[in-house]
Amino acid sequence: MTSISSASPGLAGNDPSNRLFGPLPDVSADAGYVEEHPARVGFFTDTSVCIGCKACEVACKEWNTLPMDDSHGVRDAMGMSGMSYDNTGMLGANSWRHVAFVEQTRTVDLPMPTFGRPGDDRQGSGPSPMTPGDGVSLADAQQSSVLNAEALSEFDPQTGQSGADKQIRWLMSSDVCKHCTHAGCLDVCPTGALFRTEFGTVVVQGDICNGCGYCVPACPYGVIDQRKDDGRVFKCTMCYDRLTDGLQPACATACPTQSIQFGDLDELQARADARLATLKGQGVETARLYGRDENDGVGGAGAFFLLLDEPEVYGLPPDPVVTTRDVPAMWKAAAQGAALIIGVAVSAVLGSRKR
């Protein structure tokens, strides 16, 4: 396990073995699994084939016997969120998978003449018996709709052209803990409740967690969360118990369209690169991989994604950085400060002795 001590090379302000930042080829070995250990595993979530069925959410809750949750993070209270078909809202202590639903629309300028677009005249000469409504603000209604004209490219196979005049895109994406190469939550955990498994994943041990909550702000994605009535933290374990029995995680097993793929991380990365190339070849210029790059702020993620728009559109941070990246620099600064103080003190003492 990563440990920080005054003997750490990090104290010098750099991290030559990339234990806190940067690419790390064998994350399990780094965590102390020096003997034979399984290959690092992960999730590749291809959102271009997600149909938003939420089977992953349900399978996860079933397997891990999680309590109900709702979009407002209150247990056993239910209500419609109004955010398209998403009533889960976000990842949390009781929702380890979360399917985001993003509605996007764009009016198309037609090259050919037509007889008008619906909605041109809101008054409508339709068969309405009553006076039209008093122009209620549509801002509320459309607050969840994100318009990204760049993303709505004409040949994007993920863009349903709805009629000739309008392009609609309904993005769906199943989010999950990223099982980072450099996991902030794990770095800050004082009890050892969070640990790196032999599969390279990051797991909380509920019987050790003391509810200090340090890990919550340490996660750059806002994944790990405390249960309000309990105090302890919970998050995706990548079904550690299933992995040790040779099974796939529940969500990947339940996914009907192979949007969630589980496997050895290097194989998944190769598959994702090929899929991206295919989509690019089909003209989907906006397709991108997220969490694939081992040079990113978390050293690459164990759970990474193929997205069809900017990460922000899905509620993902555009440039996540492990919160402990700067620990060495911080220690260095602290050490310099301490040295300065000690120096001042020493010189003061020496000075007084001289007197």
Looking at the Cβ atoms of 24 and 272, the one nearer to other proteins is 272
Compute the least distance from the CB of residue 12 to other proteins, in Å.
Answer: 50
CA angle 244, 248, 249 (to 5 degrees): 95
Please report the DSSP string for 46-68 in residue order: EGGG-----HHHHHHHHHHTPPP
Looking at the Cβ atoms of 162 and 244, the one nearer to other proteins is 162
Looking at the Cβ atoms of 107 and 347, the one nearer to other proteins is 107
Tokens of 170: 């309904």
Under DSSP, the state recorded for 232 is: -
Looking at the Cβ atoms of 68 and 348, the one nearer to other proteins is 68
* Torsions phi, psi for 300 (to 5 deg): 85, 150
Report whether 234 contacts 93 (CB < 8 A). yes
Compute the least distance from the CB of residue 163 to other proteins, in Å.
Answer: 5
Compute the least distance from the CB of residue 95 to other proteins, in Å.
Answer: 9
Compute the least distance from the CB of residue 79 to other proteins, in Å.
Answer: 6
Distances (CA, A) of 188 to 24, 185, 230, 256, 334: 19, 6, 20, 37, 17
Count CB neighbours of 345 within 10 A: 10
Looking at the Cβ atoms of 163 and 231, the one nearer to other proteins is 163
Looking at the Cβ atoms of 173 and 201, the one nearer to other proteins is 173
Compute the least distance from the CB of residue 245 to other proteins, in Å.
Answer: 18
Looking at the Cβ atoms of 159 and 181, the one nearer to other proteins is 159
* Torsions phi, psi for 348 (to 5 deg): -65, -45
Residue 152 burial (10 A CB sphere; 0-12, 13-18, 19+): buried
Distance of alpha carbon 288 from alpha carbon 107, whole angstroms: 24
Compute the least distance from the CB of residue 209 to other proteins, in Å.
Answer: 24
Distances (CA, A) of 344 to 256, 315, 322: 67, 49, 34
Compute the least distance from the CB of residue 253 to other proteins, in Å.
Answer: 12
